[in-house]
Chain A
Amino acid sequence: MKTFLAQYRALLWQAVQVEWANAERWLSPLLFSGTMILLFVFTFGTVEPKFIPQLYIAATFLTAFFSLQISFSRVLEPDMQDRVFDQLRTYPISPSAWFLSKYTIVIALGVLILAPTLFLSDLFLNVSGKSLLNGSLAIIALMALLSLGALGVLLSTMMLRSNAKQILYPLIYFPLTIPVLLSAVESSHAILVDGKDLSYLMSSWLGLLVIFGIMYFTLCLLLFGELVKPE
């Protein structure tokens, strides 16, 4: 256990240093979010007040999805420099520690992208005067992020040596994450439009979101271990 934690800390610290050293790595997804939300404002024009919550949910999750997948797809890129990835595979590192360290950094980056996205969407899209932001929505977004992050790390590992990464990542990521997206959108819809609360949703869409999160995390953790095994 001690070794596991030491490895996890070391790998996480390495990932944090890499992300922090290059501001572009976390700034560009944020800027992308902002741009996409503005695009929504310009393309939708004036929206009837009753449709604003639906537009808010659609714009937020779509923007978050694309910004997050930019960030997720690059999470292992620093390890490809100087063949660090290949060397790490030969070291006696616990694959779970490695996966968890990448997963943690991906969640941290995800929160860094999601929080401003939720805020900016509310600022630019919501002209009703009453803020749509609330704690329940933040919890739903976080639950979605926990599932999306696991799949993001695994796909990033798979696509490391692919020549068509830029096209493939969204092409494959989107269908695989449909259950998560649907659950998150339906839960948000139930809260903002139907006025339901989290405890009610636990027996439907939010409960599903939690189950999907656990399933994706477990599956991705197991598969990651197989992928990084030396030949």
Chain B
Amino acid sequence: MIDARKQDRLTLALGIAVFAFAGLCWFYALKFAPPDAAQGEVYRIIYFHVPSAITAFLSSAVLAVLSLWTLFKRSPTAAVWSKASAEVGLIFTVLTLVTGSIWGRPTWGVWWDWDARLTTTLLLALLYAGYLIFTSSMSPGPQRDRMSAALGVIIGLDVPIIYKSVTWWRTLHQPPSLLRSGGSSMDPDMVKILMTCLVAMILIGAWLLWTRSVNLKLQASIEEHSHSVHSH
């Protein structure tokens, strides 16, 4: 129990630290980052949107690795971490879609664009949602862990393929646009701030993953113990 209290205090302390760091990064990005020549001030949404997107895609890689571990090592702990990574991934994909949409409106005049990255993010959100519905639709146990792990592996390995095929699909249909992000190179100061915000977002993602995994393990252990108490 003492270890549990220590763990909870550490969780809270780390949480405050990562959010404080992220808050500082965003404050700096909003206040001190140089304005964009083409987009003006509204481009600053990039310092939230792009780190969210990268963290969302990183979550799918984490999901694939944890799923492989679950499949080959039959580890229930890895299965719990996989579920947590899918949840965290879903949150970041939704944030990417929402902030991308908000950014698109003043910049390109539309709430939605079939840009390769946004399209892949939308598909990834569907996959994460499907994965989570799938895990909750099966009874807990090693079978569920194995089936979810197989799905996690497929999702993680398929995401880069989906991204490339959607990119080719869009570039063959539309001429390349200098107005799209990535059409022109970023100012080095902007890149530095973006990288710092990215680190902050990944740290938030890692903290959420850890916190959620511990909660899921705790939940599973309580259920297991309450079943064994009632069966005696």
B7 to chain A, nearest CB (A): 31
Binds B, one of A75-83, A96-104, A168-176: A168-176
Is A139 close to B, CB under 8 A? no
Binds A, one of B12-20, B123-131, B185-193: B123-131
Which A residues are CB-close (under 8 A) to B161? 179, 212, 215
B127-161 residues with Cβ-Cβ distance < 8 A to A are 127, 129-131, 133-134, 137-139, 142-144, 146-147, 150-151, 153-155, 157-158, 161
Is A130 close to B, CB under 8 A? no
Is B166 close to A, CB under 8 A? yes
Question: Is A223 touching B150 in the complex (CB atoms < 8 A)?
Answer: yes
Question: Is A178 touching B165 in the complex (CB atoms < 8 A)?
Answer: yes
Question: Is A223 touching B166 in the complex (CB atoms < 8 A)?
Answer: no
Question: Is B137 touching A163 in the complex (CB atoms < 8 A)?
Answer: yes
Given contacts A163-B137, A215-B161, contact A172 B130 (CB under 8 A): yes
- The contact of B138 among A157, A161, A178, by CB within 8 Å, is A161
Chain B residue with Cβ nearest A212: B161
Chain B residue with Cβ nearest A183: B165
B154 to chain A, nearest CB (A): 6
Is A167 close to B, CB under 8 A? yes
Is B71 close to A, CB under 8 A? yes
Interface of A is mostly: helix
How far, in whole Å, are A154 and B158 apart by their CA atoms in the complex? 14
Which A residues are CB-close (under 8 A) to B127? 172, 175-176
Which A residues are CB-close (under 8 A) to B28? none
Binary interface encoding of chain B residues 163-180 relative to chain A, with 1 for a CB under 8 A from any of its CBs, else 0 = 011101100100000000
Is A58 close to B, CB under 8 A? no
Question: Is A172 touching B151 in the complex (CB atoms < 8 A)?
Answer: yes
How far, in whole Å, are A100 and B59 apart by their CA atoms in the complex? 32
Question: Is A231 touching B165 in the complex (CB atoms < 8 A)?
Answer: no
Is B195 close to A, CB under 8 A? no
Beyond contacts A163-B137, A178-B166: 15 other A-B pairs, Cβ-Cβ < 8 A, are A158-B134, A158-B147, A161-B139, A162-B134, A164-B137, A168-B130, A168-B133, A175-B126, A182-B166, A183-B165, A219-B157, A223-B154, A226-B71, A226-B72, A227-B146
